[in-house]
Structure 1
């Protein structure tokens, strides 16, 4: 009885982690990027997270040995998911609201489904077609607002976020067939570490000015620490735990909750504006994601979601 109660508590905490913590990463990145260069921020987050995960894996007795091919494949995945995908999204937070970014990114399953059709010839189910149509309508309503597209680099940011979603979608299909380390924890550790190193190179290449944590504002320092500890390590572990304990459909519900959490936190802490049209767009977009996450698609989409939150 006690074991079942303890397991229920852990499951509840794990859901809290993937709902609230992942939903809050947009706010945390938005706060941190006010003082830190985007690629430097992402580089620190994933390099440190990767090192910590590798240390934990070693302490757990997991083998860190990989083949050259596996190392190459983790590098490709790390670049597509983290260096390019996450790094650029963090950069866009200099120009667009965190809630908006979260809403646009909630259309990820739509992009995955379309690429599966184009690259793999996978037949799209009727419910998924409805989801795609609703997703397109939702995105249009979201980005067609004048206050969102007008301003420095805002339109560019919207386009780049979409390109990042395409990068994540292609990467999700790539890792589905690629030869990667068998242990998921080790696999992610390599991806984070290599992706983080590539982000460091990108940051130095772009001439970003690095600074010591001692010079950071308190809220920025806490945000970076939260991104590393909670956003990358704890939430990731919780996600994998839930996939073993509950159905993928239930785990996939984080797709609907994360944008709502991000919108609320952005409004509450940063004073970001939530218009009526944004609320309607969010409802239609998330309804589309619901239709896309049919039982036949959900297993693939669930495996894909973890990459975008790392």
Structure 2
């Protein structure tokens, strides 16, 4: 899936939608898996199986892992930002924050990318069109999740800060991914999952003693799907999109992801789609489209790797 020639924007936006679907469905799978698998062990299983899957795909494609220490240091930082550290703080914070508010807070990655690039002087990343798109996307998420979700904002401040910090780490991951442009998306995904496994497996052993766990069949099926599709395949798409759409573009999937997770919840619960949710989804789509509108690049708009 390494992009060697320019591809139409509509194809990249289709991949962005696929990524949002994969990560949006992960919330439901995590909920099922947590029924009989502790959080740390679930994360360790997720990244380990994903790493093995990605190694197998690499072998089939004839690609190899990097041999230089600089690449591995950058992969380690990326694994902390995009998986192990981000997931740990999000998992802790989500225990104390209502799911609706957590969904809103976790969708703020594009806002953080916007602010960080502004501070870095990357003016092209906050044009009027993109600025409006970032704002619209967030408004759409609030409408989809429900305005009532914001009523708890300010309570359990530390836990809410943890969820926001997780979104901040995701934003940093999207920006830091540019430093791995010399590696293919498959190699980058594999390297980050190997580092994440080395980080999380020891934690799982110490905290949960996983050999004593007896997970249900449904939990194992959910965890396996989470590992292979929502992690392995999703990360290949993610690192491709960092190259093709850029940090802001790939971060905009968090808006779509929030909408998809709510839609899946409605389907599971058998509830009807309300006009407010429908309006929010439309606003999200418009916002994401505006964020990804092509623009002429100048030397001043380029982020240095």
- TM-score surpassing 0.5? yes
How far 1:265 sits from its partner (Å)?
A: 2.0
Q: In 1, distance between residues paired with 2:219 and 2:256?
A: 25
How far 1:237 sits from its partner (Å)?
A: 4.5
Q: What are structure 2's unaligned runs of at least 5 residues? A: 1-10, 298-305
Q: Label 1:93 to 1:217 Cα distance change in 2 as closer, same or farther (>3 A).
A: farther
How far 1:168 sits from its partner (Å)?
A: 1.7
Q: Per-residue displacement from partner, 1:46-104 (whole Å, max 9, x unpaired)?
A: 12211221232134322224201111111111111111112332444444566664554
Which SS does the other structure have where 2:63 is aligned? coil
Partner of 2:112: 111
Equivalent residue runs for 1:184-195 within 5 Å:
184-195=185-196
Partner of 1:305: none
Q: What are structure 1's unaligned runs of at least 5 residues? A: 1-10, 299-310
Partner of 1:291: 290
Report the aligned-residue RMSD.
Answer: 4.2
Q: In 1, distance between residues paired with 2:38 and 2:75?
A: 25
8 Å contact from structure 2 (residues 109, 254) kept in 1:
no
8 Å contact from structure 1 (residues 26, 102) kept in 2:
no
Taking structure 1 as the reference length, the TM-score comes to: 0.70
Partner of 2:228: 229
Q: Label 1:65 to 1:174 Cα distance change in 2 as closer, same or farther (>3 A).
A: closer
Q: In 1, distance between residues paired with 2:294 and 2:15?
A: 22
Taking structure 2 as the reference length, the TM-score comes to: 0.71
Q: In 1, distance between residues paired with 2:241 and 2:121?
A: 29
Equivalent residue runs for 1:144-155 within 5 Å:
145=148, 149=152
Equivalent residue runs for 1:190-229 within 5 Å:
190-203=191-204, 208-212=207-211, 215-229=214-228
Partner of 2:69: 68
Partner of 2:266: 267
